[in-house]
Structure 1
Amino acid sequence: MSQATPYIFDATTANFDQLVIENSFHKPVLVDFWAEWCAPCKVLMPMLQQITESYQGELLLAKVDCDAEQDIVARFGIRSLPTVVLFKDGQPVDGFAGAQPESAVRTLLEPHVQMPPPAAADPLEQAEAAFAESHFAEAEAILQSILGEDNTNAKALILYARCLAERGELGEARTVLDAVKTDEHKAALAGAKAQLTFLSQAADLPDAADLKARLAKEPGDDEAVYQLAIQQLARQQYEAALEALLKLFVRNRSYSEGLPHKTLLQVFELLGNEHPLVTTYRRKLFAALY
């Protein structure tokens, strides 16, 4: 029967004292007494291996083939198979005979074995979560650490560029995006480049709150509609922006020499043909044109 991890091993008469007794002063050792002819043993062993693996090194599993290791069988007075004995600090402290459900085995182990702490979250996931909550400095610090180890990580580069953009470092953000050399995250890369384009345009415009106040007083203010759409594109509020640009185009095709139409086409190009909003609004624009 195969070993799955370094925590699972065969114990023999020659190595039992070293692998089981001595090891048990450091980590609890579960000893599985089994034999090839024992059907319940073959059911129990994979479950014991799975339980051992779940402890990630906090528990060891020693397997004793009773047909081959008669001296160990006699030493511990094993009378039936399977028999499982837990050793701790050089002594047997608990055990059972016969097949048991997993819940019973875990209950037996609970007082003696510490479950390992949960694995730390993936750093990139931590950075994404921080960015989503607008904790840009925290996200940027995590991403710098990731990129310090692997400066070709496309997902990290794209998110790092977005962090830089959030604090106005548009030139540096563009340099970072230019370093992405894979098609793997095409949509995310297109979205980040689109955001940079519109952030640079939005920098010279009134802020969104002022524009909304203007539109509350004068809904037909074409300039405010267009400028608010640019602010929305800079914040990646694509649907609201595309809807506003389309309505402005339908209402006033000649506004600023057809600028809403040109901007719609620019957004389509930047987001890419596969983006669902591009599909929707390209169709709406076609209907408006013809």
Structure 2
Amino acid sequence: MQPRNMSMSGVVDLAAVKAAQEAKAKAEQARAEAARQGGGAPAGVSPASLVIDVDEAGFEHEVLQRSAEVPVVIDFWAEWCEPCKQLSPLLERLAQEYNGRFLLAKIDVDANQMLMQQFGVQGIPAVFAVVAGQALPLFQGAAPEAQIRQTLDQLIQVGEERFGLTGLVVDPDAQGQQAPVAAEVPAGPYDALLEAAVRALDAGDLAGAVQAYKNVLSDDPGNTEAKLGLAQAELLQRVQGLDPQQVRKDAADRPADVAAQIAAADLDLVGGHVEDAFGRLIDAVKRTAGDDRDAARVRLLELFDVVGSDDPRVTAARTALARVLF
């Protein structure tokens, strides 16, 4: 989704937001219809594709990029590690059982020392996850199965609620390693609420549009149209009333001021300067720590939602952010 047509010249261009939403909705409707009719719908991945061996050369594609579609669980292991021989088969079995809700990436630490260092692995087995380009530790050692299941369930919930990751479609008859396909989310009875949000945007009622989208998401956290609309409406709400010239002056004069950089990034995105907005916030994350760093990171994730996870600039920025964080 491209916010290229949004502008901030004294007023907010609401028509661009509506057009972007309608285009996305039509695309999703067409995919869903094709899936129902079986007319050229993409095949799912094979069950064997849910467990993959990853090395340093393939990490960006197999883990970082794929984490924009499905949570990726990373199993750091080695042939000589006895606890790994207990944990790895369990994780592989759960990957099959969860049937596309997460992807298991196995990394041999002996052959991939750089990845081990980047993740700060102190001992193995160690299990991490990458969700939408963000890495987080899960557990270390051969944990009980019940604990592992609970951790996986929480991971999947975070992926769905915060990033709309609904997993992969698995086709038992598929063969070989195929590109992952995002699972389709059944449409809910939210047409009236979504239409109310669009009407609020048309009327210039950004607060009303924000609330209407939140009403949908409170019942259906993974609704992609509502997530996109909310992200865009909140962005437009933030920049409304700002003095662009003053915001840019503040950002230039105070490069270490995270609030100033966040405000400038919002204006960059509204003006269609997507790479500038992403780059500004990635630099802020790199230069800061603590609450300031987290504020810049969270705003960057919000701007990813505005642009859309299928945009290659978002994929590139997620990779750059992961490199800065880890």
TM-score of the alignment, normalized to the shorter chain, above 0.5: no
Compute the TM-score of the two structures, normalised by the length of structure 2: 0.33
Greater C-alpha Rg: 1
Q: Which of the pair has the greater relative contact order for Cα pairs under 8 Å at 6+ separation?
A: 2
TM-score normalized by the length of structure 1: 0.36
